[in-house]
Amino acid sequence: MTQPQPLPLWTAAELAEATGGVLSQPFDAKGVSIDTRSLAPGDLFVALLGDGRDGHAFVADALARGAAGAMVHADTAPAEPVLRVNNTLAGLSHLGAYARARSDASDFRVIAVTGSVGKTTTKEMLRGVLAAFGPTHAAAASHNNHWGLPLTLARTPRDARFCIAEIGMNHAGEIAPLVRLARPHVAVITSIASAHIGYLGSIEAIADEKATIMVGLEPGGTAVLPADSPQFARLRARAGNATVVTFGADPTADVRLVHTEADDAGSLIHVDIASRTASLRLAAPGRHMAMNALATLAVVAALGLDPTRAIDALEAFVPLAGRGARRDIRVGCGAVRLLDESYNGNGASIRAALDVLRLQPARRRIAVLGDMLELGDQGPAEHAALADAVINSADCLFTCGPLMRHLFDAVPQPLRAAHAANAAELAPLVAAALARGDAILVKGSLGSGMQRVIEAIEQPAPAGAV
């Protein structure tokens, strides 16, 4: 007997119904893409406007690369096959809402994650843990903004049991419309720190904006909150009548850190979950990683899942590239240990990364730091305030950017290796200074371009280098 073929991610009828658009001819789609560079054959290509680019200019390329069709504005020039809508961003949001509502699983659950630090790592921990309980879909990369969240939802397979959405912000008012689209059953706030304080003005305003993730909670939903945060009372008040599960070292936390033992490769974490003690070995060093693991276990508790099974899955987690990944790089006849934290940086995350650098057995511990952005008038002071953390963790310091100059000048002269105007100028200086046995941390805001430093030090060493 012939087995029925599974439905594609999107049938032609669903595309038309979800968006209210008009198909030039029927087509199904296996996936959804907004970028021809990562488009897979059979995808729906969504021609978005933004960042100085018009996706409509890439429709022909998308179709040539095998796209099933393209979603375009209704008034664009003819192309085949296309789904014409009034606005492609709105159309993508309509797809997301439709996918959120159509799940085949009766116990389908959406988990939304936000926070000043740790949201992407926690999302990835959740991806691995929840996959142990059923089909799991999660945001790709850091797709957490006005197009990333709808794209995540629109890509949700119809048989998914869990969808993990990441929600970010730069300005007040950005989280609420995203979480109302996601309608999570569990909303997670990993941390509150000074990231984006230049736009929001105060740590309290940051907490209030992060707390809006709870306004979209489904009836009977759960808020997962950081018990150790100085802003906890503020967050708890904003949770209203929602069920709250807390995590942290605070004695009152529902998922409580009892003790952690860290080394250069990871941490042994002892945790209390509902008055039951358990231990896990996390292949990611640092207290901040332990807290991300606790946030993950708090979600497991909120969903009523087996914590023992979750702990087994957590032990398979490895840090992400740009977010704590550790790797050895050849330098002549030896190697250096790279701590790749190049994707982002704020005061809390840089201090946490420096703590990990301090744990590394090395000839020299080298910190390479780029500007922390979006701090407004507090930028100079925030950078200079990192001096004690650098002194306690590093043997030498490389910096780049006008704001990091304040840190460079604040540390003792023997620690100052070099400062440059930008990452491109700093990269060759760092690469030339490395020698076997070093451990090097590279970190800064994404806009600081610290990936340039990573690329420079990963180049093959010249013959005769030591």
Bridge partner list, 267: 262, 282
The answer, yes or no, to whether residue 338 has pLDDT greater than 90, is yes
Residue 101 dihedral angles phi and psi, to the nearest 5°: -95, -15
CB 241 within 8 A of CB 215: no
Check residues 256 and 447 and name the one with the higher pLDDT: 256
Check residues 77 and 448 and name the one with the higher pLDDT: 448
Q: How far apart are CA 188 and CA 293, in angstroms?
A: 12
**All structural domains of the chain:** 12-93 (3.40.1390.10), 103-314 (3.40.1190.10), 325-457 (3.90.190.20)
- Lowest mean pLDDT: which of 59-68, 198-207, 296-305, 436-445? 198-207
Q: What does the pLDDT read at residue 337?
A: 93
pLDDT, average across residues 95-123: 92
Give strand ranges (E) for 171-296. 186-189, 222-226, 243-248, 255-262, 267-273, 276-282
Residue 240 dihedral angles phi and psi, to the nearest 5°: 60, -125
pLDDT, average across residues 116-133: 94
Instruction: Please give the model's pTM, rounded to 2 decimal places.
Output: 0.88
- Structure confidence at residue 3 as a pLDDT band (50, 70, 90): low
High-pLDDT (> 90) share of the chain, %: 76
pLDDT, average across residues 113-129: 94
Q: Please name the residues in contact with 463: beta carbons below 8 A apart, sequence gap of 6 or more.
A: none
Q: What does the pLDDT read at residue 74?
A: 78
> What is the overall mean pLDDT for the chain?
92
pLDDT in tens, 36-67: 999 999 999 999 998 778 999 999 999 999 99
DSSP labels, 370-415: EPPPS-GGGHHHHHHTTHHHHHHH-SEEEEESTTHHHHHHHS-GGG
- Structure confidence at residue 464 as a pLDDT band (50, 70, 90): very low
CB 281 within 8 A of CB 271: no
Q: What does the pLDDT read at residue 188?
A: 98
Q: How far apart are CA 179 and CA 3, in angstroms?
A: 39
Place of tokens 């070995």: 281
Residue 81 preceded by cis peptide, ω within 30: yes
Residue 164 dihedral angles phi and psi, to the nearest 5°: -110, 115
Q: What does the pLDDT read at residue 440?
A: 96
Mapped onto helix, strand or coil, the DSSP state of residue 182 is helix
- Lowest mean pLDDT: which of 147-151, 182-186, 340-344? 340-344
Q: Give the strand order in the sheet containing 162-166.
A: 136-138, 162-166, 109-114, 186-189, 222-226, 243-248, 255-262, 267-273, 276-282
The answer, yes or no, to whether residue 320 has pLDDT greater than 90, is no
Q: Tell me the two tokens of residue 30.
A: 């296996």
- Lowest mean pLDDT: which of 170-184, 311-325, 436-450? 311-325
- Lowest mean pLDDT: which of 54-58, 125-129, 298-302? 54-58
The answer, yes or no, to whether residue 77 has pLDDT greater than 90, is no
The answer, yes or no, to whether residue 466 has pLDDT greater than 50, is no
Q: What does the pLDDT read at residue 463?
A: 43
DSSP labels, 24-70: SS---BSEEES-TTT--TTEEEE--EETTEEGGGGHHHHHHTT-SEE
